[in-house]
Structure 1
Amino acid sequence: MNFIETLDVADLAQLFNKAPNPYVILDREFRIRAMNDAYLAVTMRSRESILGLNMFEAFPSDPESASHRLLRASLEKVVRTGEEDAIALIPYPIARPDGAYEDRFWSATHKPIKSPSGDLRFILQHTVDVTELHRLRQEAARDWKVETDVLTRADRVAHQNLALAEERHYLRSLFEQAPSFMAVLLGPDHVFDMANAAYLDVVGRGDIVGRSVLDALPEVEEQGFISLLDQVYTSGQPFVAHGARLVLGTGPARREAYLDFIYHPIRDNDGETIGIFVQGHDITEQKLAQDAALESEARFRSLAQSIPNHAWTTDRDGRLEWCNERVTDYSGLSLAEMMGRPIGATLHPDDQQRAQAAWAAARMAGEPFQAEIRLRRRDGAYRWHITRAIPSKDENGAILRWVGTNTDIEDQKTTEAQLEYLAETLEQRVNERTAELERTEVALRQSQKMEAVGNLAGGIAHDFNNLLQVITGSLQLLGRHARLDEKGARYVANALSATDRGAQLAAQLLAFGRRQPLAPKVVNLDRMVRDMDGLIRRSIGEGVEVDTVVAAGLWNTIVDPTNVETALLNLAINARDAMDGHGKLTIEIGNAVLDASYAQGADITPGDYVMLAITDTGAGMPPEILDRVFEPFFSTKPEGKGTGLGLSMVYGFVRQSNGHIRIYSEVGVGTTIRMYLPRSEASEEMSALSLAPLQGGHETILLVEDDDAVRETGVALLRDLGYSVLTARDAASGLAVIESGATIDLLFTDVVMPGPMKSTELARRAQAMLPGLAVLFTSGYTQNSIVHDGKLDSGIDFISKPYGRDQIARKVRQVLDAAHEPQRRALLPADDVAPAAAAAAWPKRALLVDDEALIRMATADMLEDLGLEVVEAGTVVQAEAAFDASVDLLVVDLHLPDGHGLDLARRLRTRKPDIAVVIATGERPKSVIHDLIRAVVIGKPYDQAMLKAAIREVCGEG
């Protein structure tokens, strides 16, 4: 930053006012806009008496006089050419305070002040009062004409010598004290013969007299001043410079000066050049002030052009001097068309009187102006603006100009009008809103009640399933190993049948509570319903006519097929009962789009759905019954004819599937139940029913179960199937068994167990120690770490409690065979193995980088559930410090507080080239462009399934 940049406007004004030479600033019409104290002193005027007046009005003279014409011609030349001009000597009388005029003589320099765009804005006049010097010259000339006939020759010589000595002394005194710098150079080498104090002050040296310019001031040679002196000495023609830059000294002593000067040749009696007279003014302060003013003006104009509002300035009477482009763009008028016009020329006629009154009051009081007015736009439309203007005053409080802005408030005015309208209908809207809130509150209470009952039902089902597991397993073992007579065998069979019904009841409770583990697939309901046609007709009897209507172009849906079949069968049976076995049942399947307005009231995400509707022609239900039909254990059937869980199960299944269910009924007409299931863009998944024979095996199974009775029953069932069984009561004990070195083929573990270690952590660590180990989970309550959003995580093998001998036999054999398949294929000849791309191993240790603690916490749980050890970091610095060679997966947010996720991934790749990368972002994933291999981008928010799929993709699995 240079010196001038440290000055504010007040500093620059002080520099201007305290300059020793007179300065005055004129506009293009020669009106006086500013002057310094020296100017006021020499003209003997006050600032208020001449400010704003034309130069020739402030200092009148005969228009036909040579001085008037010379001064006007010089000023007009500057306006016309934009270049400087100078007058060496001009007589110009000055009026004294008493009204009398005094003849004064001046030298004047006129310098243009331009805008950043190069347009002339002002003229800086620098004047020097040379009256005394001119009179001295006149007196000296008269002295030479002393009457010679009165004096003797000796007297004349003495008189002449005395006069010359006095004149020489007086001239040297004037030379030394002159405010302009002066010097006399003699000979072609330009030797300093004289130099006044002002000159020595400019060059900063006092030992130059008697030395050549090149010797005394060697640095000026490279700046071209020696060449100029040579040119003047050789040609005999003077040289005038304005604003010349002079650099003096070197290093810390280096300084710059700006000069106005003249090199004038000195001739002898024969007209030969013998030297050069140097005279000029140091205008450094003026130049710095001028540059600062131009820079300040440029900054102001840049700022004013960049603001979104209208900005403008006027003179003290309100005539426009300047405006920014927002004004011209809005009005459609050019700056030239608007200059000099009164502000407010585009005002709406209805606002004229009010605005003019406010403007007049502001001018009279000298206070800021503010008004709300309408201004005409270029297309003729009027828009409301709030106009503000602040007066700019001189040190005496006189207004110099106004600086103002116009801010568009059309939208605010429109909003105010709308608010006035809304206020008129506020009571009606409040009543409507109150009714809406009451409906929402009722729906919320119903939702909370259903949620609470669901939690209760899920908890009951969990304990009930554990009890049923013990009973079922014990009864089946009893039937196989005890020698029972026919009656005993019948009792066991009846008990097993009862446990099956109990299991169904528990399953219905779990379905209602949305706790059952779903295995969704992409299915087409048209095919599914038509495959069930025979079953439905047999279940409801011949007295009911069945009509199935399927819309063309039916979409696929993603849903658990078994639960859809169960729900459809339950609804068909309910419809039969409502029609007393006679009537018409209509099954309708079609595409549906639920918009935002419907979805908001239905608590469902807007979008595409597949609708499955069941309509009967039964008795229908009144509103008070409809409000309770989905509650568990509520039934309209006679006592003993139903559990009241059929519709509850359907409700829970549909909600758990991210769907929506709606019931319509009218007494005497019938009932319609519509299920909306989410659409899938994928192709239908066709799966064949497994009819593999029941068989056991000889592998070793580690059974981890905290319930003693359930564990004992499970051990008995597995051993009865031929398996060797080891047991543990919790995850930590199970890990101890594995660490002991025992040979284990299958880990069969309950999901929910006491202790600090999760079953998923046990499974992950067990498979790390025993590659190829099969894992089978079981639970009677599935709100846990292997079920997310009501769906089993991909790749998880699970069997629900209670399970029987047949179920556990098939499931265990299926899981073991699947685990043995890779080993079997490895033993086959090369020709028997299908070629496959090499897949990278599933990662073991992940570095998770995200600055949001909640996101980081949730993602860490997902990664741990996927079997990974997680190292967390919130910034790039923390991530680089935490990274080591054991990390084989990077999960990183795209935007971090101290850097970019892609840059971090590239740096870590230099330390470990094969690290897999998953990039998470709140932007559209496709908009993130990168050059990383083995890297994938996923969008936020993401769930565990998305995260797992991304890891599989970058690791080459699946």
Structure 2
Amino acid sequence: MEAAFHTMANSIPQLAWMAEPDGSIFWYNQRWYDYTGTRLEEMKGWGWKAVHHPDHVDRVVEKITHAFTTGEPWEDLFPLRSHTGEYRWFLSRALPIRDESGAIQRWFGTNTDVTEQKKSEERQTLLMREIDHRAKNALAVAQAVVSLTKADNVEAYKASVEGRIASLARAHSLLAASRWDGADLKRLISDEIAPYDDRTLRRVTLSGPSIILEPSTAQSLALIVHELSTNAAKYGALSSPDGRLDVTWELKQGEIQLLWQESGIELLALPSQSGFGTTLLDRLIREFAEGELHREWTREGLKAKIFIRTNRDHPSGRKPDPSLIQPAAESHSTNLPSVLIVEDEVLTAMDLEFRIAEAGYRVIGPAGTVEEARELVESDMPKIALLDGNVGGVKSFDLAMGLRVAGVEIVFCTGYEELENLPDGLGDCAVVSKPFRDEVLLDALRQAREKLEEIQ
């Protein structure tokens, strides 16, 4: 009978053990020894603590001691060290074995390796968190489009919003097809022009090398081409069957140089050079780090040259034209403190800038990278900093710590449900979730302002 028990105990996939009523272990199956590389002399009694992770052992001892004392069934999850030094996660359970009178005779326990299951759950949790983050960022961009779009009437407003959101949706579809590895430049331009182009007339030619755009570049360039296409359909080459549009591009030293040239028509009047569409184009290009847009309206339509730096580690050697840099939105009051905005999504940054300036704060930036933010504060230290928690894949925590040392109040804005791994010195910072609600955003700034006043 005993031989049969040992055969069965050694054949099960779990690590198994038995303990005295007080919890002192006196037997392990062979799988325990094979995994831990230990002997009974080392493990008997409470010697098993030696193979537990030091970060978990006190918690495990406390919980299992409670079970041994009360006679309640025990269950816990913790890592155990293998004979190779690797820690793997085990789901562990133990039940008391009682006699006819109900007295505990011994405990029987098992440890089941759930490492792969735990990794899978962690990957799924991370994936869901990233999906939530991406969705909220997308909602913040859509919110910015709605908030920033201006029009003379409801129908024009509706058409502008729908067009811009559709443009973003097309870019997202391209990126989704590549699992967000990138988007083909020619396909992106073609998709944006398609709603305005009668293919049978062959009014549009696209020419240039194959270029795969990074996701952030693809989304911004989609909006740029959408605005150019919309203008061409309203005033330019795509407004007439006789019009032609030639789009050519080349890649030089990590920089896309794109030429948009309209011809074949005769404009009676040149379109306005102001408005949200024009501002959007200027700002989108500016945020490309040395990106530039040179446009010239002729009687035949628009001629535009676009320079987009695609690799920030590979400088183009050309300095941006200062005349292209647009000033930040003017605030309506100078009584409120200055606010630095650090946000890598251009539309969201524009939306924040106009909301905050409208509330009376002086805006510094927006900065699209942590390094750009550092350069800004060297010459203009803010009183409050509104920081995206993740800026272009870089955590803004170090920047926040440096600003806090300088006496700046920090407000984080994020697409995540909550910010993880915040340094101890930032645990009390306000966190505003995307998409933004005015009352929440402005209340966070008000609280930051009150903290500054208390210090003074």
Same fold? TM cut 0.5:
no
Alignment TM-score, normalising by the size of structure 1: 0.18
TM-score by length of 2: 0.34
Structure showing greater Rg: 1
Relative CO higher for 1 or 2, CA cutoff 8 Å, sep ≥ 6? 2
